[in-house]
Structure 1
Amino acid sequence: MDTQNGLTRRALLHLSAMAAASVTLAACSAGSSGTSNSSRGGGDDTSSASSKLKGSKTEPLPVPKEFKEAPELAKLVKEGKLPPVHERLPENPYVVPHNWLTPGKYGGSIMTITGASNSTTHAEFMYGHSLLRWLNDGQTIGPGLVESWESNEDATEWVLHFRKGLKWSDGHPWSTEDILFWWEDMVLNEEHSEMPPDEARSGKGTLMTMKAIDEVTLSLSFDAPAPLTADRLAMWVKRGNGPSWMEPKHYLKQFHPKYNPNVPKDWATDKGEFDHKRAWIRNPECPVMTGWKCKSYNEGRRVVFERNPYYWCVSPDGAQLPYIDTISFNVVENPEVQRLHALEGKINFLYAGFTTIFLQDVSALKRAEQKTKLRVFLWDAGDGSGSLVFFNQDYHEPKMRELIRNPKFRQALSHAYNRAEVQKAVYYNTGELTTGTMSPKAIEFHVNDEGKRMYQAWRDSYLKYDPELAKKMLDEIGVVDTDGDGWREMPDGSKLKVRLDYHADSAQEHVSKNELLARDWRAIGIDTQLNPVPPDGYGDQWRFGKLMTNTNWETGDGPNCLVYPQWLVPIESSRWAPLQGEFYNVRGTPEEKKELDVDPYKRTPPRMEPEPGGPIEKLWELYDQSKVEPDEMKRHRLVWEMIKVHIEYGPYLLGVCANTPYIVLVHEDMRNVPTRENLALGGFAAPWIHPTPAVYDPETWYWANPEEHGDPGLT
């Protein structure tokens, strides 16, 4: 590999193209401002009014007096093959409340690509299984399948009122029995490996008690306050990347041994039929509550979803959704082929978060617009870091682990990091420079001036690029060049090598950042190696403490820091303290007292206690208080106290720049796809728990000329 100052030839070519791409990106951002080609997807002058409409209404809209339906469904009604539309909808259907919406037309297809085979990213287009919904980029919790809900004063009792008359996609009535089936016959069934979700536990960590009051009313009881229950019912895509929360009992009970004695003993294993049948993303027979249902599934190649005639959501003018007939996902794993699909117009929509298409591609995508008719939209990522680096606080080698846990070592490396150059070269001067934080859009940072100051203090804590300061700090902790070879040694004089570990198939974003970071750390005498690791087994190597760093993630969680706090506090094994995070999960259980005489790295699972009085123990204490605190403002203050621990003992997260854009390609004939300016906070695309694009209801998108946008693969 040809290198110059630690940069590969590819990275140098990337840097040489940066200036032109930055200009194009700036123009693209301006073009999506609503001054032209607004939320309607471009081309239609009548869209100018909707371009000024922003966010979503926070109160439920009135139910329309009359309903409309797709012509193909009206035909089936006329033939006696379907009930009338008002009988297929619940008594009070969900009226989608986005302010940018305009009345649509039925027909046509979305043709897009995804980079992963057998991926649940397909479900990220569909919010239909979610009990509650996030609106306004997570600022508002709105109804979903649950029409209304309430809790007692200390948030230990929650009651959920579901819509009356909900139906599965096969027309069978939905009821709370479908939730109890999931809870009692899967989660609580020891023979099934379903894990209870976060919202199923109280602040003490014990499981809730669930009771169906009637067919549409559910009560959740906790032994301690569970104040974030509503937030967690809205997060993820249920029955997608998130927990199921329901399964069609009338269909799946035939594959469950409790209801069918002929089901074989291996029913809950990979060889069993049950989990294959419940996989609605690839099983056309499995009923759904989403706007589209699986029509055909070709492993590793193509998945097609078609309209659900019983979908329970409507537009403000009474049109049963979705407008668009089908969504076709073609699986394209090769990054160059992904770009060709976009540049040659082989698709009519693309959410780049599911591919390797990135900001460096914007110039080419803009040049191809006349041919492809694909307009470039940019939605805010809402992340707190860009491409991230975090050391493994539980690295298996004792001397290196001790050095990693020394805050001054990480602080020195942070000051040696020329983030501004990475921001320029990789992110084309978008976003804001940051040490690395939770999402800057999180409510804790906007609730008052104190919250704003706390965010800024965390963001700027070790941000300054100062190589001389970095060298001085390393000298102070004994990380010096003792043998004169130009590389610093460990405090005991032994060799020091820092590895930047990353998936071997990582996106160029992470690779380019790693190359620049390695150059910066080598410049202060740290022998830094790039280490691509095969993806298979990467997670296990991390949680066993075998990998030194992880360099191909970003911090994207929100809309508040506690709903999914894994970056803030170690409570599981995939973030910056994997063995200590795993120990958190066994506290208070019989497992806590087991294997105490076994090496932490050889325990099952690998786990270790934090240092008494140390930063992780402090974080745990604050987090445990927050879990049972029903007062929202007091929870915010506990988050601020956790951030102070990060500032004093950190940085644990070495970011680059926060809130960079995500690319969205929208055909100029497609309507109701929001621009950045339509969205309450400009978008919140990075976190999986704020499911994008599902939160913007693709069921409301439509074609101005649907007859011209059918899927040729279906004809």
Structure 2
Amino acid sequence: MSGHKPGHTRREVLILGAAALAPAGWARPARALPPAGGAIDSPYFAERVKSGALPRVAERLPNVPRVIEMAWRARLPGRHGGDIRMLMGDQRDLRMMTLYGYTRLIVYDDDLELVPDVLESFDVQEGRVFTLRLRAGHRWSDGSPFTTEDFRYWWEDVANNARLSPGGPPQALLPGGEPPRIEILSETEIRYSWTTPNPTFLPALADAQPTYLFMPSRYLKQFHERYADRRALKAKIAENRVRDWGALHERKSRMYRPENPDLPTLEPWRNTTPLPAEQFVFERNPYFHRIDENGRQLPYADRVTLTIGTSALVPAKTAAGESDLQARYLRFDNYTFLKDASKRMNIEVKLWKRAEGSYFALLPNLNAIDPVWRDLNRDLRYRRALSVAINREDVNKVIFFGLARVSGNTALPESPLYDARLAALWTQHDPALANRLLDEIGLTRRDDDGVRLLPDGRRLEFSIETAGENTEETDILDLVKQDFFAVGIKIYPRSTQRDVFRRRILAGQTVMSAWAGMDNALVTPDMEPDALAPTSPAQYQWPRWGQFFESNGREGERPALAEANGLVRLYQQWRISVTRQERRKIWQEMLAINADQLFTIGVINGTLQPIVTARDLRNVPNEGLYSFEPGAFLGRYMPDAFWFDRKTEAEG
């Protein structure tokens, strides 16, 4: 194996069986099944096993399952049984099961280190050669083998098929536009290599919405023109009322949003309900690869139900005890109501910390179409004046009862990249400094009610646009409005529908918007720092600069500020970095530039997210970090290890 050859300048080895990984969170070394008791199956499958419809559990597990030692994670080993009920507002919320299941080739552990999950191990050489080893004997939920053939099928027949992937393979596999060299070494071993480093590759596999390198090939070949019988495929196209085989394959193969009950999965639970439906039932995956230290196959809960309704009613239904595990569609301003309901109902309310860089931030549009507003937004003194004009302590006390944290838009204290100095930079409430900065710009003239005048005589008044999706946003802006008026700036909060909101920003019609800060503030050096540089038109502070980068200069505009161009260069350096030290240094520079330049003006972070559970649902942490990235909201805390403390006749 090339990972063991001498002479490499750098070799990182992350093997689940390596003792060196023991301290790194809950991903304990893999080992054989407990010798005394063997594998323990759920009574849910007893009849199917008895009839021969399913093999015994020991035959359904991989040769080396992933052992999750509950006691080592300060959890309780559990029992099988029960249905976890959840409430959702849309059929598209089926993707929450893929998030909460958080079954990935590799995952983030409690220390935000990347460790194997579906993989038994992986090996990295020189930051550019990645050898992935599957678990021998691992099977899809329908019992078909999970092997490197599923990887070959995805790469050759999906990612590089013009009909199925017109944009080509995912960007994580194309550093500098170079596709990987792929070597299938055996049924359980595959190697991806590039001529230059590819630090985006592993994090992309662990993402909440991951880059999938595989698909259930045995099932999907019946819908692919290369493999299917032509007459049978034509009949399936007609039966499903789609235009061609490509549309059929796309509909049947969605792994992230599991709408097709027939699609095999590796997740803890598999969907059994076709669209459309008011309730979706997910049944335990009989071939799931995780067990607890006693050999009990996970998940503990046999089923999960998603009941679809009106999202606005979710807090009330949760308070009425209609959900056993609920976070989605709950907000901090529901907490008092839910806590009061918990005195009467069989529910418990926990508060987890949200993990955005800023729960609420102001984003001056550096690409505003009006030249006067554009120049003002690009003036660092103006952005600093806005920042120090805000009384963040007031926002924290009034809106969040003092439970959140005053901070700029930057890494959280729980991140290894946290810098207290950057979090505090330009966050002090200093109206006198704000006035001096605004005067220094030349905005010294005011009208009769004290509002400053722009160089062309217009009043310094503008709308701050929002998507209008929560009341806290409006309440914060009401406080900011008073702070800004005190230094001669008048704002008008304005909410629009999200699609209109985005279009107006990209078109330059919006002067300033309000949105969350960094989606992921639990950053590590190995995570991609794309949020800190103009890389996407979805970045509302510089949408056209981001569009320029994303389109390779075909659309948008080249960044007009030296600091923004510097961030692009640093990001490009990260993308060819080899060592973690290099990546850490780049991250620190990018965080420092963003904190000093205030391209986004963060107001508050560390806000709290209600998590409501049934009172007898065990292993749900009392404290956690709630974020899409990293860890897929609840996913990093392993809902497959949540269990009901209810004794059954079957288990005594």
TM-score, normalisation: structure 1: 0.80
Task: Report the counterpart of residue 608 of structure 1 in structure 2.
Answer: 557
Task: Report the counterpart of residue 36 of structure 1 in structure 2.
Answer: none
Alpha-carbon offset, residue 651 of structure 1: 0.7
Matching residue within 281, 300, 321 for 1:323: 300
Please give the root-mean-square deviation of Cα atoms over the aligned residues, in Å: 2.5
For 1:166-185, what aligned pairs fall within 5 Å after superposition? 166-185=138-157
Looking at structure 2, the residues matched to 246 and 404 of structure 1 have their Cα atoms a distance apart, in angstroms, of: 45
For 1:92-131, what aligned pairs fall within 5 Å after superposition? 92-98=64-70, 99-119=73-93, 120-128=95-103, 130-131=104-105
Are positions 1:690 and 2:624 aligned together? no
Q: Which runs of 5+ in 2 are unaligned?
A: 1-22
Q: In the alignment, residue 185 of structure 1 is paired with which amino acid?
A: D
Looking at structure 1, the residues matched to 153 and 546 of structure 2 have their Cα atoms a distance apart, in angstroms, of: 31
- Pair 244,156 (structure 1): closer, same or farther in 2 beyond 3 Å: closer
Are positions 1:63 and 2:32 aligned together? yes
- Pair 137,369 (structure 1): closer, same or farther in 2 beyond 3 Å: farther
Q: Is the 8 A contact 1:382 1:441 kept in 2?
A: no
Moved more, 412-421 or 396-405: 396-405
Q: Is the 8 A contact 1:684 1:690 kept in 2?
A: no
Q: Is the 8 A contact 2:532 2:590 kept in 1?
A: yes
- Identity over aligned residues, as a percent? 25
Are positions 1:423 and 2:423 aligned together? no
Looking at structure 1, the residues matched to 635 and 580 of structure 2 have their Cα atoms a distance apart, in angstroms, of: 27
Q: Is the 8 A contact 1:392 1:545 kept in 2?
A: yes
Looking at structure 2, the residues matched to 628 and 277 of structure 1 have their Cα atoms a distance apart, in angstroms, of: 36
Matching residue within 515, 520, 544 for 1:552: 515
- Pair 578,636 (structure 1): closer, same or farther in 2 beyond 3 Å: same
Task: Report the counterpart of residue 642 of structure 1 in structure 2.
Answer: 590
Looking at structure 2, the residues matched to 271 and 226 of structure 1 have their Cα atoms a distance apart, in angstroms, of: 30
Looking at structure 2, the residues matched to 550 and 389 of structure 1 have their Cα atoms a distance apart, in angstroms, of: 6
Matching residue within 648, 651, 654 for 2:598: 651
Q: Deviations over 1:119-148 (max 9, x none)?
A: 2223211122x100111152x222111111
- Pair 329,706 (structure 1): closer, same or farther in 2 beyond 3 Å: farther
Are positions 1:536 and 2:527 aligned together? no
Q: In the alignment, residue 488 of structure 1 is paired with which amino acid?
A: R
Are positions 1:276 and 2:251 aligned together? yes
Q: Secondary structure at the match of 1:161?
A: strand
Alpha-carbon offset, residue 569 of structure 1: 1.4
- Pair 86,58 (structure 1): closer, same or farther in 2 beyond 3 Å: closer
Looking at structure 2, the residues matched to 221 and 497 of structure 1 have their Cα atoms a distance apart, in angstroms, of: 54
Q: Secondary structure at the match of 1:190?
A: coil
Q: In the alignment, residue 626 of structure 1 is paired with which amino acid?
A: W
Q: Deviations over 1:386-443 (max 9, x none)?
A: 2222222222222212211111111111111111111112222123211221333322
Looking at structure 2, the residues matched to 218 and 543 of structure 1 have their Cα atoms a distance apart, in angstroms, of: 42
Task: Report the counterpart of residue 624 of structure 1 in structure 2.
Answer: 572
- Pair 164,547 (structure 1): closer, same or farther in 2 beyond 3 Å: farther
Q: Secondary structure at the match of 2:473?
A: helix
Looking at structure 2, the residues matched to 674 and 108 of structure 1 have their Cα atoms a distance apart, in angstroms, of: 19
Q: In the alignment, residue 304 of structure 1 is paired with which amino acid?
A: V
For 1:22-421, what aligned pairs fall within 5 Å after superposition? 56-65=25-34, 66-98=38-70, 99-119=73-93, 120-128=95-103, 130-138=104-112, 140-152=113-125, 154-193=126-165, 196-202=169-175, 204-236=176-208, 241-260=209-228, 261=230, 262=233, 272-280=247-255, 281-299=258-276, 301-335=278-312, 337-351=313-327, 354-355=328-329, 357-421=330-394
Are positions 1:479 and 2:458 aligned together? no
Alpha-carbon offset, residue 327 of structure 1: 0.8
- Pair 423,369 (structure 1): closer, same or farther in 2 beyond 3 Å: same
Alpha-carbon offset, residue 320 of structure 1: 0.9
Moved more, 192-201 or 308-317: 192-201
Q: Is the 8 A contact 2:252 2:260 kept in 1?
A: yes
Q: Deviations over 1:32-68 (max 9, x none)?
A: xxxxxxxxxxxxxxxxxxxxxx983454142323101
* Bigger relative CO (Cα 8 Å, ≥ 6 apart): 1
Q: Is the 8 A contact 2:366 2:377 kept in 1?
A: yes
Q: Is the 8 A contact 1:209 1:220 kept in 2?
A: yes
Q: Is the 8 A contact 1:108 1:706 kept in 2?
A: no
Q: Deviations over 1:332-375 (max 9, x none)?
A: 3342x122112211212212xx21x2223222222222322211
Looking at structure 1, the residues matched to 474 and 243 of structure 2 have their Cα atoms a distance apart, in angstroms, of: 40
Q: Secondary structure at the match of 1:629?
A: coil
Alpha-carbon offset, residue 703 of structure 1: 0.9
Looking at structure 2, the residues matched to 645 and 343 of structure 1 have their Cα atoms a distance apart, in angstroms, of: 44
Alpha-carbon offset, residue 206 of structure 1: 3.2
Q: Is the 8 A contact 1:158 1:221 kept in 2?
A: yes
Q: Secondary structure at the match of 1:133?
A: strand
- Tell me the number of residue pairs that the alignment of Structure 1 and Structure 2 aligns: 609
Q: In the alignment, residue 317 of structure 2 is paired with which amino acid?
A: H
Q: Is the 8 A contact 1:374 1:667 kept in 2?
A: yes
For 1:464-543, what aligned pairs fall within 5 Å after superposition? 464-504=428-468, 506-543=469-506
Looking at structure 2, the residues matched to 197 and 438 of structure 1 have their Cα atoms a distance apart, in angstroms, of: 27
Q: Is the 8 A contact 2:204 2:210 kept in 1?
A: no
For 1:442-457, what aligned pairs fall within 5 Å after superposition? 442-445=415-418, 455-457=419-421
Q: Is the 8 A contact 2:410 2:595 kept in 1?
A: no
Q: Secondary structure at the match of 2:250?
A: helix
Matching residue within 422, 440, 455 for 1:458: 422
Task: Report the counterpart of residue 597 of structure 1 in structure 2.
Answer: none
- Pair 566,195 (structure 1): closer, same or farther in 2 beyond 3 Å: farther
- Pair 547,180 (structure 1): closer, same or farther in 2 beyond 3 Å: farther
Q: Secondary structure at the match of 1:118?
A: helix
Looking at structure 1, the residues matched to 168 and 349 of structure 2 have their Cα atoms a distance apart, in angstroms, of: 39
Task: Report the counterpart of residue 436 of structure 1 in structure 2.
Answer: 409
Q: Secondary structure at the match of 1:272?
A: helix
Q: Deviations over 1:303-344 (max 9, x none)?
A: 221111111111111011111111111233342x12211221
Q: Is the 8 A contact 1:349 1:374 kept in 2?
A: no
